[in-house]
Structure 1
Amino acid sequence: MPLRGGTIIPHSIYISLNAHSVPGTYHWGLLVMDSEEQGSFHHATNPSGGWKYEMRAARPEQSITLVTVVRVGDLAGGDNAAALQVIRSVPADGTPSQRTGAEFRCNTWLKDVPVALDEARVVQLPMPVDELIRVAKRYGDAHLEEAELGEGAYVVNKPNPSI
C-alpha cells in the first residue's frame, strides 16, 4: 500500500490508527521508526482474553489495516533503545492506568506511553496527549475510507490541532 500525505521521518515516533471491526473505533499503537521504511509496532493486545504488550517489525507501506500515522516527535539523539525501554515500562496487563486511573484499553496504554516518553525526555510531545489523541482520531476519521479502499495510510508529520 502506498503512503499518502507525506513520508515517514526516520528516528521518529508515530501514533498509529489501524482499522477495527467496530465502526468508528481504531486499534491504537505506536510506530518507532528506524528508517523511512523499517520500524517496530508497539501495542497492547488481547487476542486470547488477557491484555499484554506486543512488539513486532513494521513496514507501514505494507500494512493493509493501517489508516493513519501521526508523528509524535523525533527520538532524542535517534536513540531507539531508550524509547524501547520506556515503552516496555508502561504496564499493558489490563490494570487501570497508573497515570489517570482510567479503565484499560489499547488507547489507555497508548495515552500513557507518549507521556512517559516525554517525561523521560526521549521525545517531546507537540501538544498535550489528550489533544494529540483527539487530533489523531480526526485524521483517522478523515482518511478511513481511502485506506479501506486500498489507497494506503495517511502520514501526518505536523499534527494540526485545529483539524
Structure 2
Amino acid sequence: MSLIVLVKVGNVIRNGIGPVIQQVPTGGNISRRNGEAFSCRTWTKDALAHLSAMGIVVLKADVDTLQEMAKRYGARYAAQAETGRGACVVN
C-alpha cells in the first residue's frame, strides 16, 4: 500500500514555472543534482531545487529536509489511513 502526503513546501514568488520545470530532465536519467536513480520522487526534488535556484519559489527548507518532513507526516497518520478510518487532513 502506498501513502500519499501533501505538504506545502514553499511559496511561488514569481511567474514562469512552466518553462523552468521543462528544463528538469525526465526519461529515466539519473539526477544531475545528486546522482540518484530517476523516479517521480527524485524528479520532484530536482524540480523544486531548480525552481528555488531560479528564484521562482522560496522553500521552507532544502529538498532533502522537505522529503524527510513528508515521510514523518505520512508515518504519523499511516495507521489511521491503513485501518480504514479514512484520510487524514491536517491544516
Scaled by the length of structure 2, what TM-score is found?
0.80
- 1:121 and 2:55 are equivalent in the alignment: yes
**Structural mapping, 1:137-156, within 5 Å:** 137-148=71-82, 149=84, 151-155=86-90
- 1:108 and 2:42 are equivalent in the alignment: yes
Q: Which amino acid aligns with 1:154?
A: V
Which 5+ residue runs of structure 2 have no aligned equivalent?
none
Runs of 4+ with >6 A deviation: none
Contact 1:72/1:123 (8 A) holds in 2: no
**Matched residues, number:** 90
Shift of 1:85: 2.2
**SS of the counterpart of 1:124?**
strand
Percent of residue pairs bearing the same amino acid type: 34
Scaled by the length of structure 1, what TM-score is found?
0.48
Aligned-pair RMSD on alpha carbons?
A: 2.1
Contact 2:11/2:59 (8 A) holds in 1: no
When you count strand as a share of all residues, which structure comes out higher?
1
- Output one character per residue of 1:111-150: Cα deviation in whole Å (capped at 9) or x when no partner: 1111011011111111121111001111011122333426
Contact 1:68/1:153 (8 A) holds in 2: no
C-alpha distance 154-91 of structure 1, shift in aligned 2 (>3 A):
farther
C-alpha distance 154-86 of structure 1, shift in aligned 2 (>3 A):
farther
**Structural mapping, 1:6-155, within 5 Å:** 20=2, 67-77=4-14, 79=15, 82-148=16-82, 149=84, 151-155=86-90
Cα distance in structure 1, aligned partners of 2:19 and 2:80:
35
When you count helix as a share of all residues, which structure comes out higher?
2
C-alpha distance 144-134 of structure 1, shift in aligned 2 (>3 A):
same
Q: Which amino acid aligns with 1:152?
A: A
